[in-house]
Structure 1
């Protein structure tokens, strides 16, 4: 199929699948993933993960991470820093540690087992936010702690992923017989990159956005934000980090400027109209059902572990700061959903050979299952809290 035919087919099918997913109470991303599975080699074989799909999906994940950065509320983070930090750190340490041990049971290398843990340390609270809004619970202390913890969680997961990708590329270069030019220089460049992120926040992004506002061309502000996003992603790759790191921090930096609202309202149509659906479809294209029943030995226990480690880990982080068991239960349930953040990490790891093709489909299935189950867990926890408060008043 030509690239125009592929693009047309993907766009219309993802739009319809996303619509029906939402109608039945599921996230739109689930429908888009299913499109990739159905159109790809696993079922119909109409679309393959060729260079065209790969390029569009790579742009899609960069824009998606830029949007995630834009939506990271640093003021909220500052306000609830202590509980959010405790919840996020516990919610990263517990999954990484226990899922690492699980990976070793399946003969994963140390790097691959750590990566598996990082994948399930990620949180995507967009679905939890929808549930909290529906139940009028978003402005509660539990809701605000979940939002703050999600910001820290994303930052930690992205940073750990970048370190893993960087280390693994060094190991791969050595094992392949190539001479690593200068590991010390690579580390220095990466340190300089993170120092540059501070300068981006403080001076560069505000300066560039002020210039954009003075340009006499259409959408100059959005254009400049895309330049910052792509430029930071490119530089991240150049110093041996993952490009999603650059995109994420570019989004956070741009969000601190007065142009945030205009960029936010214009960048989403660009991403969600074309590139982001292609990213989610590309994930489905890599899936197969070969040895599906054999994979259940991997999928079922990992799903249970993924649910429990985030729920208990984040709940423990809330409990040690003096929150009640019911509050800790709500916060833990609100952090369970992996969603697009875990999918992004899984895809990056797959391309970096940190996740083997033998387990790729199983990992994606577990991410989907946790994303689907999470809203029911959160709704149950919130309703139990409301019922308890009602009985207390009575």
Structure 2
């Protein structure tokens, strides 16, 4: 019954920490992330990483991105696709150069330095999604561009990771790059067809069933089915669940699904996801890695901010909006943690640097919500001023 107590502790601490964060003028997600650090091995050690926590966290992030898909304005996403691509590429090139240069300057091998650069290219917008949602900006032009850029970023980074581990990693050479790219093409082609034909059929079929919550069950089947299909073809599961949300968002069941999925998602699964990120923090083994940790954290934040921001600026956004988009791309989250584990297994990430890299990932995740809050505040004030003047 230990897992029951774990849920009680997580829910209690995340709600209190989220409330305190809002009282201090910050998004509640920041407090929830800090609650994970407090509860985890780094401080109180009341909650340890476990298969149970990982399972709930995985469901939480899938449902979080599913809701983001439900609330996404597809027309605006189509209109901003050029900006999304530019933001993604800018947010890959600068971190790649920055991470590689720092690692090489500190004496790491060329292969290890390239991997550190690649690690900084990753983006996980699940934290940004929650922060944007709290500020009612998820469906803004900036929010839509961040979501679109995250999809492009995931595809490019996964391909680059496969190339790097194939040619530089231990036991590499067995990855077919054309096959890898082909799988990505197949994924988006199948998802597009399924969204047009299969998803509406599933939802219409579900509504006819004489059982409780049939529509909600149909939506969850689509969400997890898309996520599994994505993982099977080498695309992040969160991209699949996001696509599922967009698909259902185009049906007449959108409001009903959104109304029913949000309570259980934000009550149970998402808090566990936030805490799971903090559980990865441990201060053992840092030793002489402090300089590396601080410098890499600074580079990780600045290169994403400027790289993503530059891509947005070059495609028509003003300076403030460009910085908002760059800030929304900073969080590396669970995507970078997965890449770090892959690098450790393939010999591209030294064991001595693993803890520092994990902490850098956590730092980028922690700074994203307050940065978005800070940058959106003047923008909202300007918009309200325009409204009052008119």
> Using the alignment, how far apart are the partners of 1:214 and 1:233 within structure 2?
25
CA RMSD for the aligned pairs?
A: 3.7
TM-score, normalised with respect to structure 2: 0.80
Tell me how far 1:201 sits from its aligned partner: 1.6
- Residues 34-90 of structure 1: CA distance to partner in whole angstroms, max 9, x if unpaired? 222111111111211112112111222222222222222211223445555545544
1:345 corresponds to which residue?
A: 335
Measure the CA separation in 1 of the matches of 2:342 and 2:175: 19
CA 218–302 in structure 1, closer or farther in 2 if over 3 Å, else same: same
CA contact (8 A) 1:36 1:282 kept: yes
Shift of 1:6: 1.0
Partner of 1:127: 131
* Superposed displacement of residue 278, structure 1: 0.9
- 1:92-127: per-residue Cα shift (whole Å, max 9, x none)? 544444445445545345344212222389982653
1:251-290 equivalence runs, <5 A: 251-290=245-284
| Structure-1 residue corresponding to 2:327 | 336
Count of matched residue positions in the alignment of Structure 1 and Structure 2? 376
**Residue 250 of structure 1: how far off its partner (Å):** 1.7
The alpha carbon displacement at 1:286 in A equals 1.2
Structure 1, unpaired ranges of 5+: none
Q: Could you tell me which runs of 5 or more consecutive residues in structure 2 were left unpaired when the two chains were aligned.
A: none
For residue 249 of structure 1, give the secondary structure of its aligned residue in structure 2. Answer: helix
Is the 2:69–2:243 contact (alpha carbons within 8 Å) kept by the matching residues of 1? Answer: yes
What TM-score, normalized to structure 1?
Answer: 0.79
**How far apart are the structure 1 equivalents of 2:382 and 2:129?**
20
Inter-partner Cα distance in structure 1 for 2:343 and 2:91: 25
SS at match of 2:128: coil
CA distance in 1, matches of 2:82, 2:98: 24
Query: Given that residues 95 and 121 in structure 1 are in contact (C-alpha distance below 8 angstroms), is that contact kept between their aligned partners in structure 2?
Result: no
Aligned to 1:76: 76
Q: 1:206 aligns with which of 189, 200, 211?
A: 200
Measure, in 2, the Cα distance between the counterparts of 1:37 and 1:165.
Answer: 29
Residue of structure 1 equivalent to 2:220:
226
Shift of 1:199: 1.3
Confirm or deny: 8 A CA contact 2:67 2:258 kept in the other structure.
yes
Q: Secondary structure at the match of 1:336?
A: helix
Choose from 126, 149, 152 the match for 2:148.
152
CA displacement, residues 215-259 of structure 1 (integer Å, 9 cap, x when unaligned): 222221111111111122222333343322322222222222221
Separation in 1, partners of 2:229, 2:143: 29
